[in-house]
């Protein structure tokens, strides 16, 4: 077998995708303090609530471009929240991948509630609610940490590319 | 530093990638995986169309199982051939060819009038099976170039997620289609199973277009040179001549151990997947043709979720704790699976599963548990192991060989299960029993590989000999018993047919007698005659008759 590594041609579109990916990755690399995190998450939550409310009342019967706009705003709030959860985990010295540990159990619990119509059954299935709470307990603990735990002191490996570049320049 | 942070730090240092690489890989992975999951929309539509087809064409469960079995055979053969070709033309091109072919065949099935013929449908479905087999080798080959060995376990877990998301999408789409809907001027009535073959291809076409523009066959062609180190062949490019790939993979013993184990995964996974709607109808008493019960929809939607959780976890465990070795984790999972299904068999044999509240819950629970264990092995053996063996240049054929055995296993499992269900009048205990045997056999294959990799060749050979003995014993004991049961079933069916024929003859005779009696009654003169006229026309005759009959009475002497 030939082990020579010959560079492969890269198309302009692939170069553009590469740059886009670098930009997105850089965006997620920094750290957020508790205050910044709380501020951004509450802002996103408020916007989410306003858009949701508008979709259920004011937007009914309105032209479709307004609906598209509302869904774009919806998507943006979700992206904004994920971004700050990842940055806050970085501040705690943990990988941004921990976002999944927060999101997946809640998503799965929501699916369970839908599938088995737990909301309609209410207190009659208290044991199912208890199981779901147990299932989400670690995620809840992580959320508490995101809001209240102080970030690590000094560089922790998640400070972002600019931080280290500046450090090298100095 | 304690051991855990040190290991974590080493892991992190070993997996530093250039800026933007992880995001670009995620994007590539997303498009590749999404297209593969859309393949499932054009494959799993059959299992939902099965009850409708059975009602319309009067096909029996054995024919439905046979169709699924033939699909598996075609798919398995397609994996072998297409896997080899994917090593030559690249994973991306293979996936695109498969998507286009599958769209065409599904549309032909949906719109063609020949589907009522069993043979025509079987032929079309086998062609679909062959074309669908472009998906897995193409996907595994593309991703082999984008991941290091120790990253592939988690990837394979998410590969499982992509598969399951395809199944979830079709599970959610099916009730909408089968219950009927209206979209603008497009109206679909309830129970139109043909729509299951005409609507999903639209989704596949849209995703294939996105895939064409975004995906890249390797990091090199996306602008990330030497980002990944391939243990098998680290030179540039992702393609090799067919003969080179064939020789390298065919002569590698690891491939065959995984292939045998994967055949067992296929037998279990496909029996539980393909026969689930029939199981719901026959055992749990659900109506699966139009209004699917909530618990059936819930179970079919829950299965993919738990399967994903199991496959991601097993992949992660094999990456982190076994340094990318898949067989120890797979062995544990196979044995656990055999225990779960054995319990299900016992429960089923004691008739705890049935159309009662508890019986339905148990029946659905066991399907979910089987899905977790079967899909966990499916991901690490079917996706991670071929990439480790073949690398970026030969992962296509490695995946083809291993995956083809999954479908051969499925074909054997479905053929046997279908026949046993027929001769036992739908006793699903046999289905669980067969699945237990396959799961245990898969565990033994992985145990033999474990011994072999540890250098304990004698122990490995002993396990293989034990497996061979198991097969001989199963065939030797099972075939005569099946024949006896088949004979008894045929006698029973003949007796039932005779009784039915007798009942029909009696009914026909009664109908004939009734018709003769009606013919003896006076007939209406004209169809347009109303009842009053008819009465007037009919009564005088009766009066005349009574007058005639009264005459002799009047002449008779008084007593």
Q: How far is A12 from chain B (nearest CA, A)?
A: 10
Is residue B20 within 8 Å of A25, Cβ to Cβ?
A: yes
A8–B301: do the CB atoms touch at under 8 Å? no
Compare CB distances from B298 to A11, A13, A115 and report the shortest one's residue: A115
- How far does the CA of residue A2 sit from the closest CA of chain B (Å)? 6
* Residue B412 neighbours by CB distance under 10 Å: 18
Contact between B25 and B219 under an 8 Å Cβ cutoff? The reply is yes
Q: What is the pLDDT of residues A3-59, one digit of tens each?
A: 445 566 888 999 999 999 998 888 888 888 999 999 999 999 999 999 989 988 888
Q: Find chain B residues with C-beta within 8 A of A4's C-beta.
A: 235-236
Check CB contact under 8 Å for A22 and B27. Answer: no
Token look-up 């307004």 returns A66
User: How far is the alpha carbon of A18 from chain B, nearest alpha carbon, in Å?
Assistant: 6
Of B278, B371, B355, B313, nearest to B65 (Cα)?
Answer: B278
- Which residues in chain B have their CB less than 8 angstroms from residue A7's CB? 220, 225, 236
How many whole angstroms separate alpha carbon B90 and alpha carbon B365? 41
Tokens of B108: 């032909």
**By the 8 A CB rule, do B373 and B436 touch?**
no
Nearest chain A CA: its distance from B477 CA (Å): 44
Interface test with B, best of A25, A29, A119 (most B CBs within 10 A): A25
**B332 three-state secondary structure:** helix
Q: How far apart are CA B348 and CA B175, in angstroms?
A: 28
Which residues in B lie closer than 8 A to residue A79 (C-beta atoms)? none
By C-alpha distance, the chain A residue nearest B9 is A157
Rg (CA), chain A: 21
Are B304 and B167 a contacting pair, CB within 8 Å?
A: yes
Subunit contact B234:A5, Cβ cutoff 8 A:
yes
- Return the closest-CA partner of residue B215 out of B136, B142, B134, B316: B142
pLDDT of the residue at B49: 84
How many other CB atoms are found less than 10 A from the CB of residue B176?
12
Distance CA A42, CA A30 (A): 19
Output the pLDDT for position B8.
53
Number of Cα atoms under 13 Å in the Cβ half of residue B81: 12
Residue B346, exposed/middle/buried by CB under 10 A (0-12, 13-18, 19+)?
middle
Closest CB from B223, B234, B298 relative to A18: B223
| Nearest-CA distance A117 → chain B (Å) | 10
Q: Please determine, for the modelled complex, whether the ipTM score is greater than 0.85.
A: no
The DSSP line for A25-37 is HHHTSS---HHHH
Q: Which of B24, B225, B309 sits opposite A21 (nearest CB)?
A: B24
- A-B CB pairs within 8 A amount to 74
For the entire predicted model, the pTM comes to 0.73
Kindly give the confidence (pLDDT) of every residue in chain B, 559 residues in length, as a single tens digit, with 9 standing for 90 and above. 444 555 555 555 556 788 889 889 999 999 999 999 899 889 888 878 877 887 888 887 778 878 887 887 898 889 889 988 988 888 899 999 999 999 999 999 888 877 778 888 889 999 999 999 999 889 988 888 888 888 888 877 777 777 777 877 888 888 888 888 877 777 887 878 888 899 899 999 999 999 999 999 888 888 888 778 777 776 777 778 888 888 888 888 889 999 999 999 989 888 887 777 777 777 777 766 666 677 777 777 777 778 888 888 888 888 888 878 889 999 999 999 999 999 988 988 888 887 777 778 788 888 888 888 888 888 888 888 888 888 888 888 888 889 888 888 888 888 888 888 888 887 888 888 999 999 999 999 999 999 998 999 999 999 999 999 989 998 898 889 889 888 888 898 889 889 999 999 999 999 989 988 888 776 555 555 555 665 665 555 544 444 444 444 444 443 3
Instruction: Please tell me the distance in Å from B301's CA to the nearest CA on chain A.
Output: 8
Q: Which residues of A touch B20 (CB under 8 A)?
A: 18-19, 21-25
E strand residue ranges, B375-509: none
Chain B residues within 8 Å of chain A (Cβ atoms) = 19-24, 27, 213-214, 216, 218, 220-226, 233-237, 294, 298, 301-302, 305, 309
Distance CA B279, CA B556 (A): 80
Cβ proximity of A37 and A84 under 8 Å: yes
- Residue B182 DSSP code: E
Which residues partner with B187 through β-bridges? B182
Tell me the β-bridge partners of B182.
B187
Contact B22 A25 (CB under 8 A): yes
For residue A3, the chain B residue with the least C-alpha distance is B235
Are B404 and B76 contacting, i.e. CB atoms less than 8 angstroms apart?
A: yes
Q: How far is B212 from chain A (nearest CA, A)?
A: 12
């Amino acid at each position: 077998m030939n082990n020579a590594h010959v560079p492969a041609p890269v198309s302009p579109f692939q170069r553009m995708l590469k740059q886009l990916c670098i930009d997105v990755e850089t965006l997620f690399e920094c750290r957020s303090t508790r205050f910044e995190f709380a501020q951004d998450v509450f802002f996103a939550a408020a916007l989410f609530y306003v858009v949701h409310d508008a979709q259920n009342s004011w937007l009914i019967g309105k032209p479709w471009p307004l609906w598209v706009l509302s869904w774009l705003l919806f998507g943006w709030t979700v992206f904004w929240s994920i971004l700050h959860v990842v940055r806050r985990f970085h501040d705690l010295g943990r990988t941004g991948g921990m976002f999944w540990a927060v999101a997946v159990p809640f998503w799965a619990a929501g699916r369970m509630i839908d599938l088995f119509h737990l909301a309609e059954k209410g207190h009659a299935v208290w044991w199912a609610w208890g199981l779901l709470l147990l299932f989400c307990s670690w995620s809840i603990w992580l959320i508490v940490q995101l809001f209240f735990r102080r970030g690590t002191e000094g560089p922790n490996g998640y400070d972002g590319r600019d931080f280290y570049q500046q450090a090298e320049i100095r | 530093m304690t051991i855990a942070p040190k290991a974590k730090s080493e892991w992190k240092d070993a997996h530093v990638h250039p800026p933007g690489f992880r995001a670009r890989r995620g994007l590539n992975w997303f498009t590749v995986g999404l297209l593969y999951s859309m393949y499932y929309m054009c494959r799993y539509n059959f299992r939902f169309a099965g009850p409708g087809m059975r009602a319309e064409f009067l096909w029996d469960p054995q024919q439905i199982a046979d169709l699924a079995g033939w699909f598996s055979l075609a798919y398995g053969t397609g994996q072998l051939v297409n896997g080899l070709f994917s090593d030559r033309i690249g994973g991306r091109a293979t996936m695109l060819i498969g998507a286009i072919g599958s769209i065409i065949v599904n549309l032909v099935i949906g719109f063609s009038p020949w589907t009522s013929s069993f043979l025509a449908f079987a032929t079309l479905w086998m062609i679909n099976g062959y074309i669908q087999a472009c998906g897995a080798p193409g996907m595994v080959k593309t991703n082999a170039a984008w991941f290091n060995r120790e990253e592939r376990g988690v990837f394979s877990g998410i590969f499982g997620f992509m598969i399951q998301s395809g199944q979830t999408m079709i599970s959610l789409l099916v009730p909408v289609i089968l219950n009927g809907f209206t979209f603008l001027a497009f109206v679909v009535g309830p129970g139109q199973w043909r729509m299951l073959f005409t609507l999903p291809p639209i989704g596949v076409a849209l995703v294939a277009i996105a895939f064409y523009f975004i995906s890249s066959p390797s990091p090199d062609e996306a602008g990330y040179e030497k980002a990944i180190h391939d243990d098998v062949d680290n030179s540039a490019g992702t393609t090799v001549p067919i003969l080179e790939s064939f020789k390298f993979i065919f002569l590698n013993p690891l491939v065959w151990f995984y292939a045998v184990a994967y055949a067992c995964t296929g037998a279990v996974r496909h029996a539980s997947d393909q026969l689930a709607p029939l199981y719901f109808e026959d055992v749990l008493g659900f109506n699966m043709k139009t209004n699917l019960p909530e618990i059936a929809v819930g179970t079919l939607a829950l299965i993919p979720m738990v399967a994903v959780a199991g496959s991601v976890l097993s992949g992660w465990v094999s990456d982190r704790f076994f340094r990318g070795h898949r067989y120890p984790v797979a062995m544990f999972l196979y044995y656990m699976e055999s225990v779960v299904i054995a319990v299900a068999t016992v429960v089923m044999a004691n008739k705890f599963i049935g159309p009662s509240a508890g019986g339905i819950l148990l029946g659905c629970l066991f399907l979910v548990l089987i899905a977790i264990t079967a899909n966990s092995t499916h991901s690490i053996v079917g996706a991670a192991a071929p990439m480790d063996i073949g690398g970026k240049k030969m992962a296509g054929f490695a995946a083809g060989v291993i995956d083809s055995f999954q479908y051969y296993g499925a074909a054997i499992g479905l053929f046997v299960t279908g026949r046993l269900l027929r001769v036992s009048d739908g006793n699903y205990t046999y289905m669980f029993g067969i699945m237990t045997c396959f799961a245990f056999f898969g565990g033994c294959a992985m145990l033999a590989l474990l011994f072999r990799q540890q250098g304990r060749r004698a122990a490995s050979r002993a396990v293989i000999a034990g497996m061979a003995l198991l097969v001989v014993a199963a065939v030797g004991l099972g075939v005569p018993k099946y024949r006896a049961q088949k004979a008894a079933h045929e006698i029973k069916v003949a007796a039932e047919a005779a009784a039915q024929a007798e009942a029909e003859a009696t009914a026909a005779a009664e109908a004939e007698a009734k018709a003769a009696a009606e013919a003896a009654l006076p007939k209406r003169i004209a169809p347009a005659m109303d009842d009053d006229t008819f009465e007037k026309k009919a009564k005088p005759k009766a009066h005349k008759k009574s007058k005639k009959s009264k005459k002799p009475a009047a002449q008779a002497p008084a007593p």
